[in-house]
Each structure stands twice: as structure tokens, then as C-alpha cells.
Amino acid sequence: MFAKLATSLEGVLNRNLQASLTARRAASELEGLCMDMGVSASQPVLRMSVEGGRLRFAEPDAKPSGVTLSGGWRRLLELLGGDHTGPGLDLRGDPAVAEGFARLLKHCRPSPEEEMARFAGDTVAHQVGDAARAAAGWAREAGDSLQHNVRDFVQEEARLMPTRVEFDAFSAEVERLRDSVGRVAARVEALGKGRVR
């Protein structure tokens, strides 16, 4: 299973690597280097390396790697997809090597539409891509609308939370009260000092 997945992944990424001058330059900078990845740093399950100008995926061996990345599976898959920002990864080793591999993966990342076009043709791939983008846009708008409706219900209908105007008015009143208490405390203190003399 692992060998089949690694071979498929290598094929797609290396095809894109050969098609991009930027990716070929990034690969040449990483020639002979490797990076291990896994859920735990002590037991990496995947080694990515650059050999002969090509990306290679294999199971880690005894040879030490330049860097080890560990984190949850979801986060590691996001990394392979080119998203190397955000929390959730533990980096051990040379950060420059990790950045180099991240840059290389970014330039080799396959376009789902282009990959589909190889099998189904440009027209079908373009239509499916348009449908996917439209569905993503609709989902984003539906999420925004749901968030707005829930906020309105919680604030206006159920009165479980104050509106922004109500909160600002309450905050202003609290500040005025705090200032008044401070003034009264200062007067009491001044009166207390006056009696002692």
C-alpha cells in the first residue's frame, strides 16, 4: 500500500517538478538532502528526498535526515499540499532544509483541474472545476449567513447576549462608575488626613 501511494505521489509531483523551472531550481538546492515526516519525531513514517533532480518518497532508514517534521496526520497532509503555515508541527533539525522542501512542494503541487484534464479532457475538467468553485462559494456564503442569523437570534430574539451598542453603553457606564468611585475614595482619604491634623 505504502509503495503504491509513494509511487503515485512521486509521479505527479515529479511531472510538475520537470514542468517548472522554479521547482527544478529548488530541487537542485536540495540535491542529496532528505526530510523525515511522521506523527511522532521518534518514529517517522515517510522520508522525502531529492535524488538526481527528482523527488523520492520512501520509508526512513538508518541514515540521518536533515530535518524531521512531526504532527498530526491532517497537518502533515496539509504540508504535502503546500500549506506550511500555522501551528501543529514540531520541527527538529535544520529549518532551512524544511523551508526548502516546503518551497519545492509549493511549486510541484498539482492542480486538481489539470490532473482531471489528463483523464477526462479539458472541457469536462473545466466544468467540474467551475462547479467545485461555485459550490465552495455557496458554502462560504451559507456559512456567513448562518453565522449572521445565529448572532441575530442570540442577541435580538433570545436576548442571551447584548448587542454591540448595548455593550458599548454598559462599558461606558462602568467606566463612569469607576471614575466616580475613584473620586469618592480620594475625597474620603483627603477628609481622613484632614481630621488627623
The model's pLDDT over 11-68, given as tens digits with 9 standing for 90+, comes to 888 888 888 888 889 888 888 888 888 776 667 777 888 888 888 887 777 777 778 8
19 and 102, same structural domain? yes
Instruction: Give the chain's radius of gyration (CA, Å).
Output: 29
Phi-psi region of 174 (alpha: psi -120 to 50; beta: other; left: phi over 0): alpha
pLDDT in tens, 154-179: 878 887 888 888 889 999 999 999 99
Q: Nearest CA to 59 among 50, 46, 48?
A: 46
Average pLDDT of span 107-135: 80
Structure confidence at residue 60 (pLDDT)? 77
159 and 95, same structural domain? no
CB atoms within 10 A of CB 164: 8
142 and 95, same structural domain? no
C-alpha cell recorded at residue 194: 484632614
Q: Nearest CA to 84 among 59, 64, 52, 109?
A: 109
What confidence category does residue 196 fall into, taking pLDDT thresholds of 50, 70 and 90? Answer: very low
Which of 95, 110, 125 is the last residue before a domain boundary?
110
182 and 168, same structural domain? yes
Which of 110, 126, 160 is the last residue before a domain boundary?
110
Average pLDDT of span 104-108: 84
68 and 15, same structural domain? yes
pTM: 0.56
* Residue reference for cell 449567513: 145
Structure confidence at residue 138 (pLDDT)? 92
46 and 122, same structural domain? no
C-alpha cell recorded at residue 161: 447576549
Structure confidence at residue 191 (pLDDT)? 85
70 and 6, same structural domain? yes
CATH code (residue 26):
3.30.1050.10
- The DSSP secondary structure of 62-106, one letter per residue, reads SSPPSEEEEE-HHHHHHHHTT---SS-EEEEE-HHHHHHHHHHHH
104 and 117, same structural domain? no
Average pLDDT of span 175-195: 87
More confident of the two residues 188 and 195 = 188
Structure confidence at residue 42 (pLDDT)? 67
Average pLDDT of span 117-134: 82
48 and 12, same structural domain? yes
CB atoms within 10 A of CB 46: 19
10 and 106, same structural domain? yes
Average pLDDT of span 118-135: 83
User: What are the two backbone dihedrals, phi and then psi, of residue 43, each rounded to the nearest 5 degrees?
Assistant: -135, 70
Task: Provide the residue range defining the domain that includes 134.
Answer: 113-196
Question: In sequence order, which residues have a C-beta less than 8 Å from that of residue 107 and are 6 or more positions away?
Answer: 16, 17, 20, 22, 23, 26
Q: Provide the domain count of the chain.
A: 2
74 and 46, same structural domain? yes
Which of 110, 132, 156 is the last residue before a domain boundary?
110
